[in-house]
Structures are given as C-alpha cells and as structure tokens.
Amino acid sequence: MRRKLGYADVTPKNLYLSRRTLMAGAAGLAAGALLPGGALARIAAEASPYSIDATPTAYEDITSYNNFYEFGVDKGDPKAHAGALTTEPWSVVIDGLVGRPGTYPLEDLVAPARLEERIYRLRCVEGWSMVIPWIGFPLADVLSRAEPGSGARYVAFETLMRPEEMPGQRGFFQPLDWPYVEGLRLDEAMHPLTILATGLYGEELPNQNGAPLRLVVPWKYGFKSIKSIVRITLTADQPPTTWNLQNPREYGFYSNVNPAVDHPRWSQATERVIGGGIFAPRRETELFNGYAEEVGHLYAGMDLTVHY
C-alpha cells in the first residue's frame, strides 16, 4: 500500500524536531542545494507516492549495520572505517553507448533532478531487512540526459577504488575482486522505482551507506544497490557483476527478492527486521520485496528459478 508521506511520518519525532532547524531555509532545495564548498547540504525533498507504508528503521541501526566490504567484512566495519573516505569533490564517468559521454561532477548530476523522499525496504540476501527513508532521484533522469544509444541494453556500474582510504581493498586477504561492479538491464535501470540516493533521513548519505551517490533498486537484494558510484556505462551485453563473478551458483545477475528461490545455504522465505531485537518475530519475505505489481511485468515469460 502506498501513501504520500511527509517528514513527520518519515522521521521519528525526536530526530525530526532536532533537525528541523537545520532544514529551515531549505525551501527550493528539491534540486539538491550546495554548500559553499560544494558538498550536498542537508536535504529537503518532496515525499514520494512510491514510499511504502512502514515505520523506518532507527537512524543508528541504518548507519551502523552495513555491508560495505571495501571497509571490512563485519557489519560494524563500515561505520568504524568509512570516515576516512574523501567524498568531495566527486564526479561520475558516464560512457559506453551514449550520445553524451563525459565526466560529470556530482552537483551537475543532482542539480537538474527533483529529489524525493522515498521509504523503501532494503532486503539483504543474508536474511535481514531495514526500512530506510532515502533521499534521491530517478536514475532514468541521468540516463536520459546521457542519451542512450539504440544498441544499449544494459547499464554497468563501478564503485570507487581507493585502497589508501578503503582498508578492505588492501592487504594480503581480499574477499572480493576490486573495484566492485554491478549491472542492471536498461529497462530495470529506467524504471521509476530505481533511484540514485544522495541522502537518508533528510541528511547527506553517510560514508558507510555509500556516500556520496549510491544506487537503490528496492525490489532486488541489497548488494545490487552499488555504493560510492564513480562510473556508469551503457552496454549491449550483460555486464559482469562482483558477487556473480565470486559465486555464480549463489548470486545470480538478477537477484530479485523472491521467497520461493532459496539461497543455496539458507531460506529466503522470511526475514529479520533490524532493530526489532533478537526475539522479534520474523516477517514473510514478499515477492519483489513487495513491488510485484510495479515490476512483475519486467520478467514476464522468464523462469525466475533460472534467472535468479
């Protein structure tokens, strides 16, 4: 069920009241206001009809329980180590089968867009979920401006590679091949649910959550929502993706949330909501994370047990 929400709905009252003074004067920032140094300011955005009707997870839980292997494999490592990441200035290379390739400063990507506040559930393949009030704008806005070529069928993404600031990228043991890469079919990327996020809870995106720009694809498992994006490439062929390269049996290219398709090592039928405590009841996993009505047609005729 969808309903239009405001900040009082999105943010717990104590946090909302403490931040509203910071957001005073933010009128007109739906285009992504800039501080004098060029960093994204605290963000005012329109509530979105795409938001789910669910209570957001506490800010502390959202920002302290993360997967971001570039900073370490434990859930607390990103918060502990990501503070060293330099996110200003930031630019994104857009290339491949596009009419307007180039290196785009972050502010040029954000400024023309209408930022929205969207409450989405993030469902991770390990079996936990969070409800997050993202601030972002449709990826389709950026792709349309880049003018996709007639042969473009997929969109590839690449994360920052900076070992001097990302401790998980250096040392003898490397859990993944770097840089982290992901991909979507072009129709998935252009779908209005797919956003590029610049913030959460009305503030800049914390480093551990993928600052300053991350993908959010709410009907797919969380690892598809690639963080700290530095390159977007349109291609004719299905691009390689990090976890699929690491273990194709366990991580398919599509990675759609599907309670009927188990991970080889555990069931996906239920999920643990972070913040509910260890004795909180598990909730049933929803097909496409609850967005079957909006995105089911994208996979018409496909065998979801094969194209997982």
Average pLDDT estimate for 108-127: 91
User: Given pLDDT bands bounded at 50, 70 and 90, which one contains residue 8?
Assistant: very low
For residues 222-232, b (16+ Cβ closer than 10 Å) or e, as one string? bbbbbbbbbbb
In tens, the pLDDT along 170-192 reads 988 899 999 999 999 999 999 99
pLDDT of 77-101, one tens digit each? 999 999 999 999 999 999 999 999 9
DSSP letter at 286?
A: P
Average pLDDT estimate for 275-285 = 84
Structure tokens given for 201: 């809870």
Instruction: Report which of 178, 215, 212 is spatially closest to residue 82, judged by C-alpha positions.
Output: 212
Q: Specify the pTM.
A: 0.88
Predicted confidence band at 43 (pLDDT cuts at 50, 70, 90)? low
Q: 268 φ, ψ to 5°?
A: -110, 15
CA distances from 103 to 24, 91, 108, 225, 265 (A): 33, 6, 10, 21, 41
* pLDDT band at 40; cut points 50, 70, 90: very low
Quick one: how far is CA 9 from the chain centroid?
Answer: 21
* pLDDT at 9 > cutoff 70: no
In whole numbers, what is the pLDDT of the chain averaged over residues?
Answer: 87
Percent of the chain with pLDDT over 70: 86
Mean pLDDT of 60-71: 97
Among the residue ranges 46-60, 172-186, 288-302, the one predicted with the least confidence is: 46-60
Average of per-residue pLDDT across 258-267: 94
Which of 174, 189, 304, 303 is CA-nearest to residue 246? 174
Q: Is the pLDDT of residue 35 over 50?
A: no
Q: How confident is the model at residue 233, as a pLDDT?
A: 98
pLDDT, residue 241, reads 98
CA distance linking residue 167 with residue 274, whole number of Å: 26
Q: Name the superfamily (CATH) of residues 7-299.
A: Oxidoreductase, molybdopterin-binding domain (3.90.420.10)
205-243: pLDDT as tens digits: 999 999 999 999 999 999 999 999 999 999 999 999 999
Q: Residue 259: what pLDDT?
A: 97
Model pLDDT, residue 42: 59
Spatial contact of 119 and 10, defined as CB atoms under 8 Å apart: yes
Strand 116-123 with 46-47, pairing: parallel
Please compute the mean of the pLDDT values over residues 36-55 and round it to a whole number. 70
Residue 11 confidence (pLDDT) above 50 = no
Spans of all domains in the chain: 7-299
Examine the pLDDT at 45 and tell me if it is beyond 80: no
